[in-house]
Structure 1
Amino acid sequence: MAEGKSRMEARRDELIRKNLLSDEFLELIQKNRKPFDLLMSYYQCAIMEIETKFRVLNQEYSLEYDKNPIEGIKTRIKSYDSLVRKIRRKNIPMSLASIEENIKDIAGVRVICSFPEDIYELADSFLKQDDIVLIEKKDYIKNPKPSGYRSLHLIVQVPIFLQKNKKMVNVEVQFRTIAMDFWASLEHKLRYKKDIPEDQAQQLQEELLACATQSAQLDERMQEIRNQLVSKFGE
């Protein structure tokens, strides 16, 4: 089984290289392998900085208010094929400098919270830190996407301290409740299923939209119950 899975993964990787990774991009990486790896390491360092900040905040909330607003933290670096798709979509020059300047979400941190109010409280605490620079904010909780997608998105710059200098690096930070994250995971799987007949895909999208409405209502009800508990019995 393991050998079969390994062969399948190898074939998948080969298909990605042939179909998704343009020759131009591969040539860019080959010629600039060390600078490209260095750039990716900067994004990885920025992720570690952001993740540490949230873990410290969660610890502080635990000690001071006896609550843990963060249920989990997920991180990722954009893959080569995702970069290629974004380069093509944005029609930007094929250079490392252009990638760094124009693609703001190469590094991503997703913070999963217990309740919607925790999201805004945590985001405010995070943005008050004097080494965080807010570049862009999109609130898809108060203004969901037509698909039903809900999340709070921030593009921020965070400093990483290198051997001889400091570098500001862009990171996308997403805040979701557990329900929002579960819904988004399912919607993501549907979006990348290319072999679903159009009529069935449309039906599934409609069902997902209904689920988004129900999950939003559930978040609101649970938030209200939590607020009542806090008002009567404290945190």
Structure 2
Amino acid sequence: MKNAQRLKPLVSFFAVGITLGAIHMNVYAHGKDVSDMFDDVHIEDGRSVGELSALNSDIELGDSVTAASISTVNGDITMGYGVRIQSISAVNGDIEAKSDLFVEHSISTVNGDIQFSDGAEVGRDIETVNGDISLAQVIVGDDIGTVNGDISLADATRVSGDIVFEKSNSDNDWSDSNSPKLTIDSDVTVDGSIILYRKVKLDVPDHLLDKVEYRYQQ
């Protein structure tokens, strides 16, 4: 989403349900892929697995787990301390982690919230369509983007790229009551711009107001 490239509708997530329907693996050995349609997936502390995927169930990772990628359609993703992941995606689930999470690439949801704190680091983008993003003491290597969700940044969080609110297709896009909110604490660093393609309620420190770019007719 560099240079405020439009957020894709993330329709590709729905393809996960197609691929999962033909696979049912419950292998928890080191380095193996884990996939399940209806039962919750739990990975114990210290395990190393390949790709994790679920259709109508939650995925829970213990402390110090490493995995190639995580994806779910209708379930939440929760992670313990010191988890290492390549990428995370969800359609209708929330994504949460305890301290010292490391994600090499990007994180994305359609309708789920994203909440990280205490030393989490994301190598690339954090994106959602309708979910809220809440980050405290987090390093983001590229952009943060949403359409209808709120964004809250606190506790010396650093965003190396842009913060982007994309235009919604809703007729209520310009209503104050339906506008998402951006909240940024004074100790947060934003290296890029704050790019608004729709009306957004701003609660940001004065030194970041110069970074706001209005890409819609006010």
Structure 1 length-normalised TM:
0.20
The structure in which a higher percent of residues are helix is 1
Q: TM-score, normalised by structure 2?
A: 0.21
